[in-house]
């Protein structure tokens, strides 16, 4: 089954073609960084305008790279839930037009489901239910128990900033541009992670929640007091603080839920230190870690097509009337989207 997946949740216009839920035939992402960089964050109106400009080209490129035409599609899927409303609308309208013109099923996907399914797409045989999923991005940081296809239980989430959002804000303060996670990782490679003892918020609390908003103040305080600092050391120490908290809370969740499989998803899941240290810490406890392919971590259309392959079989197709919703429940869960568009 060949599915076209579309994601226009925030500031990436993306379309991917996936066969049978895991064979990625193409995954085209058009980034809007340049259009937003002058504002230090994503501007919703500009995002919608850029999606409108790019969506047709991105879909055409995805089909071309896969070597197929619209007539070869068995279904079309779109992230219609959770994100910037005007951005979502562009993808939803495009998907509906294709479903109508090609007379194929339409599948609406919650954006978080795309992130959750990226590990399952990468390990379609080995990753069995139930499993724990750490979904860590610019808009979310949450721990979910994934019971079955489409059945999730929220174990913990961030009480303020998402991990990626905190990295983005600090990177902006350090003059590293937007988004900042990748820039911080690059700098951190030449830094000393023990140079600064940044806080590990809530790491010892017995709950499974996170808090990352205090990190920016901690970093700014250090910089304000220092006569001299190496940006590489700041980046490495910050990255280590974030990874320590993510790893500790994820392992606590796996142990308290007695889950022996951990999946990772979301933009921050591309981070090499997180991938390495989570896998190593879990292995010590006999827990297996399932990392998503790097191309499936930050927002992309292929993860939407992959999720749709499974969810179409479990939930069926959606009507042409599905809405686009900025904040939408994930199954029966209420999950808050941390709006990354706040530019200040």
180 binds, among Zn ion, ligand KG4, none (CB under 5 to 8 A by kind): ligand KG4
* DSSP-H helix ranges across the chain: 33-36, 44-66, 85-102, 111-122, 163-173, 181-188, 213-225, 231-256, 272-284, 301-315
Whether 316 and 62 have beta carbons less than 8 Å apart is answered as no
Q: How many residues interact with ligand KG4 (rule CB under 6 A)?
A: 21
299 is a contact residue toward ligand KG4 (CB under 6 A): yes
Query: Rounded to the nearest whole angstrom, what is the least distance from the CB of residue 227 to Zn ion in the complex?
Result: 39
Determine the interface stretch with ligand KG4 among 34-42, 66-74, 191-199, 261-269 (rule: CB under 6 A).
261-269
CB 273 within 8 A of CB 239: yes
Q: Is residue 168 at the binding interface for ligand KG4, with CB under 6 A as the rule? A: yes
Judged by CB under 6 A, which of 134, 167, 304, 317 binds ligand KG4? 167
Question: Residue 181 binds which one of Zn ion, ligand KG4, none, with CB within 5 to 8 A depending on kind?
Answer: ligand KG4
Q: How far apart are CA 326 and CA 323, in angstroms?
A: 10
* Rounded distance between C-alpha atoms, residue 335 and residue 8, angstroms: 19
Task: Specify whether the CB–CB gap between 267 and 298 falls below 8 A.
Answer: yes
For the chain, the farthest-separated pair of C-alpha atoms sits apart, in whole angstroms, at 65
DSSP 79: E
Is the CB of residue 90 less than 8 Å from the CB of residue 101? no
Q: Give the C-alpha separation, 164 to 142, whole Å.
A: 12
Which of residues 50 and 299 has its CB atom nearest to ligand KG4 in the complex? 299
Q: Write phi, then psi, for 255 (nearest 5 degrees).
A: -70, -45
Cβ-based nearer residue to Zn ion, 24 or 193: 24
CB of 88 to Zn ion, least distance (A): 12
* Region binding ligand KG4 by CB under 6 A among candidate stretches 192-200, 229-237, 255-263, 267-275: 267-275
What tokens were used for 243? Answer: 């990874």
Binding mask 99-138 for ligand KG4 (x = CB under 6 A): --------------------------------------xx
Query: From the list 180, 201, 292, 306, which residue makes contact with ligand KG4 (rule: CB under 6 A)?
Result: 180
Cα 250 to Cα 202, 209, 281: the distances in Å are 13, 10, 10
Q: Out of 91, 191, 201, 267, which residue is the one contacting ligand KG4 (CB under 6 A)? A: 267
Q: How far is the CB of 69 from ligand KG4 (least distance, A)?
A: 29
CB of 42 to ligand KG4, least distance (A): 10
Evaluate whether 187 touches 237 at the Cβ level (below 8 Å): no
* Contact partner at residue 47 from Zn ion, ligand KG4, none, CB < 5 to 8 Å by partner kind: none
Is there binding between residue 137 and Zn ion (CB under 5 A)? Answer: yes
Instruction: Copy the structure tokens of residue 298.
Output: 């930050």
Do residues 220 and 173 lie in contact, with contact meaning Cβ atoms separated by under 8 Å? yes
User: Is 133 an interacting residue with respect to Zn ion (CB under 5 A)?
Assistant: no
Residues in the chain: 344
Q: Which of 81, 113, 161, 299 binds Zn ion (CB under 5 A)?
A: 299
Q: If DSSP codes are grouped into helix, strand and coil, which group holds residue 140?
A: coil
User: Is the CB of 108 or the CB of 181 nearer to ligand KG4?
Assistant: 181
Decide if residue 95 touches ligand KG4 (CB under 6 A): no
Q: Is 87 in the site for ligand KG4 (CB under 6 A)?
A: no
Task: By CB under 5 A, name the binding residues for Zn ion.
Answer: 137, 299
Task: By CB under 6 A, name the binding residues for ligand KG4.
Answer: 10, 137-139, 164-165, 167-168, 179-182, 185, 266-268, 270-271, 298-299, 340
């Amino acid at each position: 089954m060949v599915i076209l997946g579309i994601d226009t949740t925030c500031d990436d216009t993306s379309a991917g073609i996936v066969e049978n839920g895991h064979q990625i035939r193409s995954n085209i992402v058009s980034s809007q960084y340049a259009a937003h960089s002058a504002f230090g964050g994503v501007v919703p109106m500009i995002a919608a305008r850029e999606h409108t400009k790019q969506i047709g080209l991105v879909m055409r490129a995805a089909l071309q790279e896969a070597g197929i035409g619209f007539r070869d599609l068995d279904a079309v899927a779109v992230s219609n839930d959770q994100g910037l409303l005007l951005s979502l609308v562009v993808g939803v309208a495009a998907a509906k037009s294709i479903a109508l013109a090609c007379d194929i099923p339409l599948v609406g996907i919650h954006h978080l489901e795309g992130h959750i399914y990226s590990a399952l797409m990468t390990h379609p045989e080995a990753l069995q239910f139930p499993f724990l999923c750490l979904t860590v991005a610019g808009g979310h940081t949450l721990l979910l128990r994934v019971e079955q296809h489409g059945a999730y239980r929220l174990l913990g989430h961030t009480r303020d900033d998402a991990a990626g959002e905190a990295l983005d804000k600090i990177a902006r303060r350090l003059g590293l541009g937007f988004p900042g996670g990748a820039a911080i990782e690059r700098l951190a490679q030449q830094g000393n992670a023990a140079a600064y003892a940044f806080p590990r918020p809530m790491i010892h609390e017995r709950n499974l929640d996170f808090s990352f908003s205090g990190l920016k103040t901690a970093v700014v305080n250090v910089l304000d007091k220092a006569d001299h600092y190496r940006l590489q050391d700041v980046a490495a120490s910050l990255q280590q603080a974030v990874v320590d908290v993510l790893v500790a809370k994820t392992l606590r969740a796996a142990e308290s839920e007695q889950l022996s499989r951990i999946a990772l998803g979301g933009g921050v899941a591309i981070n090499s230190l997180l991938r390495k240290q989570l896998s190593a810490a879990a292995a010590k406890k006999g827990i297996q870690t399932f990392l998503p392919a790097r191309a499936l971590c930050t927002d992309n259309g292929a993860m939407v097509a992959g999720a749709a392959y499974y969810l179409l079989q479990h939930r069926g197709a959606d009507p042409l009337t599905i809405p686009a919703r900025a904040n939408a429940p994930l199954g029966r869960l209420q999950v808050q989207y941390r709006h990354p568009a706040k530019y200040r």
